Chains A and B, each alone.
Chain A
Amino acid sequence: MKLAYWMYAGPAHIGTLRVASSFKNVHAIMHAPLGDDYFNVMRSMLERERDFTPVTASIVDRHVLARGSQEKVVENITRKDQQEKPDLILLTPTCTSSILQEDLQNFVERATRTTNSDILLADVNHYRVNEFQAADRTLEQIIIFYLEKISKSSIKKTHQPSANILGIFTLGFHHQHDCREIYRLLKDLGIQINKIVPEGCSVLDLKKIPEAWFNIVPYREIGLMAAQYLEKNYDMPYIATTPMGLVETASWIRQIYKLISENIDANQTLPFKERFEKYIDQQTRFVSQAAWFSRSIDCQNLTGKKALVFGDGTHGAAMTKILAREMGINVCCAGTYCLNDGDWFREQVQGFCDQVLITEDHTQVGNMIAEIEPAAIFGTQMERHVGKRLDIPCGVISAPIHIQNFPLSYRPFLGYEGTNQIADLVYNSFTLGMEDHLLEIFGGHDVKTVITKNLSTDENLIWNSCAQKELQKIPGFVRNRIKRNTEKYARSKKITDITVEVMYAAKEALTG
Chain B
Amino acid sequence: METLKFECETGNYHTFCPISCVSWLYQKISDSFFLVIGTKTCGYFLQNALGVMIFAEPRYAMAELEEGDISAQLHDFDELKRLCLKIQQDRNPSVIVWIGTCTTEIIKMDLEGMAPKIEEFINRPIIVARANGLDYAFTQGEDTVLAAMAHRCPKYKIQSASSIPLVLFGSLPNTVAYQLSKELEDQGIKISGWLPEARYEELPQLGPGVFVCGVNPFLSRTATTLMRRRKCQLIGAPFPIGPDGTRAWIEKICQVFQVIPKNLDQREANIWENLQDYLTLVKGKSVFFMGDNLLEISLARFLIRCGMVVYEIGIPYMDKRFQGSELNLLEKTCYEMNVPLPHIVEKPDNYNQIQRIRALKPDLVITGLAHSNPLEARGITTKWSVEFTFAQIHGFTNARDILELVTRPLRRNNHLKDLGWSKLVAK
Asked whether B377 lies within 8 Å of A51 as measured between CB atoms, the reply is: yes
Within 8 A of B (CB), among A296-331: none
* C-alpha gap A65/B372 in the complex (Å): 32
The distance from the CB of B108 to the nearest CB of chain A, in whole angstroms, is 10
Within 8 A of A (CB), among B62-76: 62-67, 69-70, 74, 76
A7-15, A267-275, A410-418, A423-431: which lies at the interface:
A7-15
* A33, A52, A59, A400 pick with most chain B CB within 10 angstroms: A33
Asked whether B370 lies within 8 Å of A37 as measured between CB atoms, the reply is: yes
Which of A7, A32, A60 contacts B43, CB < 8 Å?
A: A7
Which of A6, A11, A59, A96 contacts B54, CB < 8 Å?
A: A6
Asked whether B39 lies within 8 Å of A3 as measured between CB atoms, the reply is: no
Which of A1, A13, A40, A44 contacts B66, CB < 8 Å?
A: A1
Asked whether B49 lies within 8 Å of A99 as measured between CB atoms, the reply is: no
Interface residue tally for chain B (C-beta within 8 Å): 63
* C-alpha gap A60/B351 in the complex (Å): 18
The distance from the CB of B133 to the nearest CB of chain A, in whole angstroms, is 3
Q: A3-B61, A3-B86, A34-B17 are in contact. Are A50 and B371 (CB under 8 A)?
A: no
Asked whether A44 lies within 8 Å of B48 as measured between CB atoms, the reply is: no
Contacts of B63 in A (CB 8 A): 1-3
A62 lies within 8 A of chain B by Cβ: yes
Asked whether A95 lies within 8 Å of B369 as measured between CB atoms, the reply is: no
The distance from the CB of A49 to the nearest CB of chain B, in whole angstroms, is 6
* C-alpha gap A41/B51 in the complex (Å): 13
* C-alpha gap A11/B43 in the complex (Å): 9
Asked whether A53 lies within 8 Å of B39 as measured between CB atoms, the reply is: no
B99-107, B163-171, B201-209, B333-341: which lies at the interface:
B99-107
Q: A95-B41, A96-B103 are in contact. Are A36 and B17 (CB under 8 A)?
A: yes
A127 lies within 8 A of chain B by Cβ: yes
Asked whether B64 lies within 8 Å of A2 as measured between CB atoms, the reply is: yes
B368 lies within 8 A of chain A by Cβ: yes
Which of A6, A36, A57, A94 contacts B12, CB < 8 Å?
A: A57
Asked whether A100 lies within 8 Å of B374 as measured between CB atoms, the reply is: no
Flag B319-362 by CB within 8 Å of A: 1 or 0 each.
Answer: 00000000000000000000000000000000100100000000
The distance from the CB of B71 to the nearest CB of chain A, in whole angstroms, is 9
B44 lies within 8 A of chain A by Cβ: yes
Look across to chain B and name the residue whose beta carbon is closest to the beta carbon of A42. B48
* C-alpha gap A49/B69 in the complex (Å): 38
* C-alpha gap A400/B40 in the complex (Å): 15
Contacts of B39 in A (CB 8 A): 11, 95-96, 126
Contacts of A388 in B (CB 8 A): 55
Contacts of B137 in A (CB 8 A): 34-35
* Dominant secondary structure at the A interface: mixed
Asked whether A3 lies within 8 Å of B62 as measured between CB atoms, the reply is: yes
The distance from the CB of B370 to the nearest CB of chain A, in whole angstroms, is 4
Look across to chain B and name the residue whose beta carbon is closest to the beta carbon of A58. B12
Within 8 A of B (CB), among A26-56: 32-38, 40-42, 44-45, 48-53, 56
* C-alpha gap A62/B136 in the complex (Å): 10
Within 8 A of A (CB), among B365-386: 368-374, 377
B249 lies within 8 A of chain A by Cβ: no
Look across to chain A and name the residue whose beta carbon is closest to the beta carbon of B90. A3
* A3, A60, A61 pick with most chain B CB within 10 angstroms: A3
Which of B51, B61, B372, B377 contacts A5, CB < 8 Å?
A: B61
Flag B249-277 by CB within 8 Å of A: 1 or 0 each.
Answer: 00000000000000000000000000000
* C-alpha gap A42/B47 in the complex (Å): 12
Flag B48-60 by CB within 8 Å of A: 1 or 0 each.
Answer: 1101001100100
B132 lies within 8 A of chain A by Cβ: yes
Which of B15, B79, B106 contacts A96, CB < 8 Å?
A: B106
The distance from the CB of B190 to the nearest CB of chain A, in whole angstroms, is 39
Asked whether B370 lies within 8 Å of A53 as measured between CB atoms, the reply is: yes
Look across to chain A and name the residue whose beta carbon is closest to the beta carbon of B44. A10
A359 lies within 8 A of chain B by Cβ: no
Asked whether A7 lies within 8 Å of B49 as measured between CB atoms, the reply is: no
A208 lies within 8 A of chain B by Cβ: no
A448 lies within 8 A of chain B by Cβ: no
A437 lies within 8 A of chain B by Cβ: no
* B15, B44, B67, B135 pick with most chain A CB within 10 angstroms: B44
B234 lies within 8 A of chain A by Cβ: no
* C-alpha gap A94/B41 in the complex (Å): 8
Contacts of B133 in A (CB 8 A): 32-36, 96
Q: A5-B61, A42-B48 are in contact. Are A11 and B102 (CB under 8 A)?
A: no
Contacts of B74 in A (CB 8 A): 1
Asked whether A3 lies within 8 Å of B83 as measured between CB atoms, the reply is: yes
Q: A5-B61, A100-B106 are in contact. Are A44 and B374 (CB under 8 A)?
A: yes
The distance from the CB of B196 to the nearest CB of chain A, in whole angstroms, is 23
Contacts of A468 in B (CB 8 A): none
* C-alpha gap A34/B373 in the complex (Å): 21
* C-alpha gap A130/B64 in the complex (Å): 14
Contacts of B76 in A (CB 8 A): 1
* B17, B80, B354, B424 pick with most chain A CB within 10 angstroms: B17
* C-alpha gap A60/B17 in the complex (Å): 13
Asked whether A41 lies within 8 Å of B370 as measured between CB atoms, the reply is: yes
Look across to chain B and name the residue whose beta carbon is closest to the beta carbon of A53. B370
* C-alpha gap A107/B15 in the complex (Å): 26
* C-alpha gap A95/B70 in the complex (Å): 10
The distance from the CB of A261 to the nearest CB of chain B, in whole angstroms, is 41
The distance from the CB of A58 to the nearest CB of chain B, in whole angstroms, is 8
Look across to chain A and name the residue whose beta carbon is closest to the beta carbon of B51. A402
Q: A1-B80, A6-B54 are in contact. Are A99 and B106 (CB under 8 A)?
A: yes
B154 lies within 8 A of chain A by Cβ: no
B396 lies within 8 A of chain A by Cβ: no
Look across to chain A and name the residue whose beta carbon is closest to the beta carbon of B19. A35
Within 8 A of A (CB), among B161-207: none
Contacts of A254 in B (CB 8 A): none
Within 8 A of B (CB), among A91-118: 94-96, 99-100
A85 lies within 8 A of chain B by Cβ: no
* C-alpha gap A2/B62 in the complex (Å): 8
B6 lies within 8 A of chain A by Cβ: no
Contacts of B354 in A (CB 8 A): 52
Asked whether B44 lies within 8 Å of A7 as measured between CB atoms, the reply is: yes
- 19 contacts across the A-B interface (CB closer than 8 A): A1-B74, A1-B82, A1-B83, A13-B41, A33-B102, A33-B132, A34-B134, A35-B17, A35-B138, A36-B17, A36-B41, A41-B49, A44-B373, A51-B374, A57-B12, A61-B11, A95-B40, A127-B67, A127-B70
- For the complex with contacts A2-B62, A11-B41, 20 further pairs of A-B residues with Cβ separation under 8 Å are A1-B79, A2-B64, A3-B64, A10-B44, A11-B40, A13-B41, A33-B17, A35-B45, A36-B17, A38-B16, A38-B45, A38-B49, A58-B12, A62-B135, A65-B106, A95-B103, A99-B70, A127-B70, A130-B40, A400-B47
